Chains A and B, each alone.
Chain A
Amino acid sequence: MKTASPTLVFALLIALAYTLGTCAHLRAISRPDAVSADGAFKKLLGDGRRLFAGQFVEMADVYLHSGFYPSIFDRRDAKAPKAVTGKTEDNDDYAHEGHQHDAEGKCLTAENHSSHKHDAEGKCVHHDDHQDEHEKAMDFMRTPNNWLEGFIRRFRITKHTHLENGEEREVLPWLKLAIELDPQAIETYTATAFWLRKNLGNVKEAEAVLREGMRNNPKSFEILFELGKLQKESHQNPVKAQHIWEAALSLWNKQTAEAKTASLKSYSELTINLARLAVDAGNSQRAIQYFELAKMASPRPEAIQQQIDEIQSKIGGPTTNSLPNFFPAP
């Protein structure tokens, strides 16, 4: 009997394996209970991949600081917010030097208004308190203890800087990987969208990221809030922004009591921005109603009351303070 060539046998085995593989794949995807294709990380690491997501966010933060970053051996506050994710709160802080801002970063009240600068569009440009906090967190390089430490430091990055002039794009690969690893980390979506939209002007990709975030986290009012900001600021579409923020507020209301208490900041941001939209639309009644809601969640209700008083004085006399029945108070 003539023996077959080993090369031919090998080729036959390869062809057989390929044919079986493709047949099995086609059968698997045609099954009614077939799940959608997962990413490489999920296939390789399973749910354990979430453990690494934080490392990638930290890597993005390292890049944002151009390599100037404390190691695990340096004294640092592990819970301190990262600049790469904390930046998303620029201009719309909860209680910023005694007053609040809308989504555009404009002061909501006249309080402390003269104590800081504003840009041409009226947005606050003072963030000294945040910068001080961040500078303090990044002041990990003490005076060298000995000559060797001093010598090694000559070969290290010793200046605290942040990426600018479009170089912020370098943090995006790590944020993208963090999203792949932990699709339930809402902060990563909002941070990625912020950098894409605000610093790189890539609104299309920012919107895609937020929509992907909504697909993976359908109950996230934080992502909806960012999506509303994108509609208002980038697409100049206040009507769509209003609908999205109202949907976000509705999602916020569906939470448990404990979750509501933990996310009062989001409630305040949503109601303030909805109030601002109502002011712009000339709907003073609705604006006051939203400000009333915001007042309940605000750490400085007197500042918001001042805003309400201003609107009331403009429309001449007090109006009904009844709250919209579709958004109960927190």
Chain B
Amino acid sequence: MNTIWALAGVVIKELYRRKDFYVLFVLSALITVAAASVNFFDDTKIVRYVKDICLLLIWLSTLIVAVVTTARQIPAEKENRTIFPLLAKPVSRAQIILGKFLGCWLASGLALLVFYAFFIIITGSKEQQWHLVAYLKAMGLQWMMLGVVIAMTLLGSVLFSAVSSNATICLVAVGGILFIGEHLNKIALRQAEPLKSITSTLYFCIPHLELFDVRKQLVNNQALPGFFDCGLASLYAAAYVAALLYATWLLFRRKSLST
């Protein structure tokens, strides 16, 4: 376990050494502050559009941070040939995958913490209400979703040789799931066979990332799902993470590391 933590520590250090996170955070903060400063009909109590814009930016930024950070992990080790001295130590390929996953997941969690702290300060000061439990639930659900995305990207980094192609494919796949994943069964009902069965199978197989998106509830001050449902959603995400990491290990354990 120490080996996995050591590998994860390196990934976290990489996050704060690189500029991706800072650029995205400053950009998100600037857009949010600019949006919050707009005056609509001299009404200072209007706040929901600011929450909406800020949460959208948080979702986009953290997705980009998670996918880009994860996509370059294994290819960079191979390209720099640091994978060989790493494997020469008592470190198995399974531990490398787990270490990389844990590092990326924790790094995304840290990025989420910073983003949500900013979100809470901005919206709390404007709204004068502090829905801390709701924000914690939303952040927890988003972190679980990012776990699935990171596991998916890690699998992609074993499948695809180029970092850019892996990152692009993963972002398109995640975007597709977020936009139409929930509606695939409705689309399936309107199709003829065999398209109906294919779409239906796809609906049950894909990880439903949109499940973890509770932005509408946060923006509109609606009740969030209870802790039991959040726990079930976490188990759902954990099952997909386990399956994706196992698939990554299956592909990585016999993969040639020479570039």
Contacts and interface: CB of A to CB of B under 8 A. Distances in A.
Interface of A: 63, 66-67, 71, 73-74, 145-146, 148-149, 151-152, 154-157, 166, 169-170, 172-174, 176, 196, 200, 202, 205
13 contacts: A63-B220, A67-B222, A73-B186, A148-B203, A148-B204, A148-B208, A152-B182, A155-B212, A170-B49, A172-B43, A174-B49, A176-B41, A196-B41
B133 interface: no
Interface string B215-235: 011011110010001001100
Nearest to A208: B41
Contacts of B43: 169, 172, 200, 202
B214 interface: yes
B48 A170 contact: yes
Given A155-B211, A196-B41, 16 more contacts: A66-B221, A67-B219, A67-B222, A73-B183, A145-B189, A148-B185, A148-B204, A149-B185, A151-B232, A151-B236, A155-B212, A155-B233, A169-B45, A170-B46, A173-B38, A173-B49
Interface of B: 38, 40-43, 45-49, 141, 180, 182-183, 185-187, 189, 203-204, 208, 210-214, 216-217, 219-222, 225, 229, 232-233, 236
Contacts of A196: 41
Contact of A63 (B41, B45, B48, B208): B48
A71 B212 CA distance: 18
Most buried by A among B186, B187, B204: B186
Closest 6 CB pairs of A and B: A67-B216, A73-B183, A66-B220, A67-B220, A205-B41, A170-B48
Contacts of B186: 73-74
Is the contact region of chain B dominated by helix, strand, or loop, or is it mixed?
A: helix
Contacts of A173: 38, 40, 46, 49
A155 B46 contact: no
Contacts, number: 72
A71 B204 CA distance: 20
Contacts of A176: 40-41
Contacts of B211: 151-152, 155
A170 B221 CA distance: 12
Contacts of B183: 71, 73
A145 B41 contact: no
A301 B49 CA distance: 46
Nearest to B181: A152
Contacts of A170: 46-49
B222 A146 contact: no
B214 A172 contact: no
Nearest to B188: A145
A172 B40 contact: yes
